[in-house]
Amino acid sequence: MYKKYEMELAGRTLRVDVDRVAKQANGAVLMHYGDTTVLCTATASEKPREGIDFFPLSVEYNERMYSVGKIPGGFNKREGKASENAILTDRVIDRPMRPLFPKDYRNDVTLENLVMAVDQDCSPELTAMLGASIATSISDIPFDGPISTTQVGLIDGEFVFNPTAAQREVSDMALTVASTKEKVIMIEAGANEVPEDKMIEAIFAAHDLNQKVIAFFDTIVSECGKPKHEYQSFAVPQELFDAIQEIVPPAEMEEAVFTDDKQTREENIRVLTDKLAEAFADKEEWLDKLGEAIYQYQKKTVRKMILKDHKRPDGRAIDQIRPLAAEVDLIPRVHGSAMFTRGQTQICTVTTLAPLSEAQRLDGLDEAETSKRYMHHYNFPSYSVGETKPSRGPGRREIGHGALAERALLPVLPSEAEFPYAIRTVSETFESNGSTSQASVCASSMSLMTAGVPIKAPVAGISCGLVTGETDEDYLVLTDIQGLEDFFGDMDFKVAGTHEGITAIQMDIKIHGLTRPIIEEAIAATRKARLYIIDEVMNKAIAEPRPEVGKYAPKIIQMQIDPQKIGDVVGQRGKTINAIIEQTGVQIDIEDDGFVSICGTEKEGMDKAAKLIHTIVTDFEAGQVFEGKVVSIKEFGAFLEFAPGKEGLVHISKIAKQRVNKVEDVLALGDVVKAVCLGKDKMGRFSFSIRDVAE
């Protein structure tokens, strides 16, 4: 008999079924939030993986289309590779869970989350986050949980916890906060320029609600939790550390890492590594752990320099940003381009504009979102960090960084009515040494402005780091962390926004959570830095969006027609609209409500297409003058085509003021002439006259 536990959470029932399914996993729960159902399992290998120096954690969020009553599209009719949403959910589950496993644990651990039913008002992503926590907590896998996660919306200035689908549509904020019993361990947010103080208030309102869920989870763990299993520790032996410090004293290690050039630092460490490897040549058991030992030695040195001596490896002040540079129009012929450089981090973003029909179609579990017109893609080639490896397409990190920048810029984009384009920005990483995702926000903001996208305000992003000591009060927040400070520090706190407020947050940490003073200080530091970047760097490169799209970008004309006339414009099997496209070289998109977009690069062709469509949807009335092409000649007159699929007859007597004996004496096939509508003839057909057109 399985055990069932329930609590009310934000007005809906959260239910945890234990020992009901998947009993061979180390830990498993069937999570229910409303009608949303997710199977969450935690499994670990019996033995550690050999030859690695990291904790091999895998998080999988598996979407099943049956959960929303759909059959997957395409020929295969089964789920394929993970969607972007699934990858982002993997990452948001991983970030708060990973720090709570032992740092020297080398057993493979997989957290699987299978979405089996979706109630649109109860987020399956949130349900999976909660399920991963409790499944791992009741398992025998070493884990310092449980944790809880809460989503927060902001509607009319009021917080809404775990918002429904309708509430998410109108919310000014999409905030996700994960907590332990004492501290905040993960923050992810997208927001419509929400002020810093409001964001902090929301974070800790979510943290308070998380405590109620953790208390509920503690009850389950106390009744169902398994004893944690013993594991083989891979910690570096103290005697190895002692031997290393005799050969490489702390002052020598400090000198090796104290440089602002990444390549110089890496070469210094390589020299020390070779020196130590030679010294320990006869101690094979130490050689296997030498790499990890040197890493830990560097980490200890850097952390001591920062926390105790207030010295950063590159000599900067604690709140100092690396040298900044920005330029626009770097790449010719593209629709917009900009490059942003911060120290040894350099990003070039290219913007491409297209008609709305080029928006990305989404085939996922969210019924409210079927497409998106803004796409941000981020690329991270190996040369950007001085390495060589083949490109295999974007990984989870690249997809996550692209989504973060996309989230940061969405709030400032114009509406489709204001700017009827699909927009794609691609950030190419030229160099990387810390927080390329936030550099891509800066580069993309400028690139959009060069392309003539009327964004509401420039957006900049910056990352803060953290080094902590023995107590919660012993810490130092660093502005603009470089790679080394990220690797050896405790936090990567990324915040993007405008002058008015925050548009995106992503927080990664390696410790068991952050206190409120740390979060407040980090948010204040990022605000100061991003305003400096906007005012002193970005605005000097380009201060506002260009008034028009560029020469090589497509132009769009919009017009509204009677929806009843759509069939006339399209024609039988698309014959009419295809004829217009062939004649004018434009792209035409027609919505069901009669909204027409004409897209092209040549104004003449676009104007001609608009004129043809206008002619097609205009009913003939006496006195109207049209321009038509002679497409057929008969003994009794000539037929004029005013637009594809729309013709009229000019009787031979109406061709010229003088008598015409033969139509061919005056007109030839292909002639373009003006004709006035005379109304209907005796047989109810519209007739036209060339001779009666006013001079």
Q: Quick: pLDDT tens for 643-652.
A: 888 889 999 9
Return the pLDDT at 695. 67
Return the pLDDT at 680. 83
Domain contains 33: yes
- Cα–Cα distance for residue pair 494/466, rounded to 1 Å: 12
Q: Name the residue among 427, 440, 533 with its Cα closest to residue 479.
A: 533
If the chain, 695 residues long, is cut into consecutive pieces of 10 residues, what is the mean pLDDT of each piece? 95 97 98 98 95 92 94 85 94 97 95 97 97 98 97 98 96 98 97 98 98 98 97 88 89 87 88 88 82 88 90 92 97 97 97 92 77 95 91 90 97 94 97 94 98 98 95 94 90 97 96 96 97 97 96 91 91 90 91 89 90 88 89 92 89 90 91 91 84 82
Same domain membership, residue 75 and residue 49: yes
Same domain membership, residue 526 and residue 409: yes
Same domain membership, residue 684 and residue 587: no
Complete DSSP assignment for 599-623: EES-HHHHHHHHHHHHHHHSPP-TT
User: Which of the 8 DSSP states describes residue 127?
Assistant: H
490 known ligand binder: no
Domain contains 436: yes
Q: Give all strands (DSSP E) within 22-131, no chain letters.
A: 27-33, 36-48, 57-63, 107-117
**Domain limit, last residue, from 189, 221, 253:** 221
Domain contains 355: yes
Domain contains 500: no
Same domain membership, residue 472 and residue 343: yes
CATH classification of the domain holding 569: 3.30.1370.10
Residue 159 near residue 167, CB atoms below 8 Å: no
Domain contains 180: no
CATH classification of the domain holding 683: 2.40.50.140
CATH classification of the domain holding 372: 3.30.230.70
What are 377's strand-pairing partners? 426
Same domain membership, residue 434 and residue 384: yes
Taking the mean position of all CA atoms in its chain, how far away is CA 175? 15
Query: Pairing state of beta strands 421-431 and 374-379?
Result: parallel
**Domain limit, last residue, from 587, 617, 647:** 617
Same domain membership, residue 562 and residue 521: no
Domain contains 83: yes
Torsion of CA 594, 599, 604, 610, to 10 degrees: 0
Phi-psi region of 153 (alpha: psi -120 to 50; beta: other; left: phi over 0): beta
Same domain membership, residue 423 and residue 286: no
pTM value is 0.89
Domain contains 364: yes
Domain contains 230: no
Same domain membership, residue 668 and residue 600: no
Same domain membership, residue 380 and residue 286: no
Q: What is the total count of domains within the chain?
A: 5
- Cα–Cα distance for residue pair 217/178, rounded to 1 Å: 14
17 known ligand binder: no
Same domain membership, residue 272 and residue 256: yes
Same domain membership, residue 521 and residue 372: yes
Q: Domain residues for 604?
A: 555-617
**Domain limit, last residue, from 617, 652, 668:** 617
Same domain membership, residue 269 and residue 134: no
Return the pLDDT at 694. 78
Return the pLDDT at 285. 77
Residue 329 near residue 450, CB atoms below 8 Å: yes
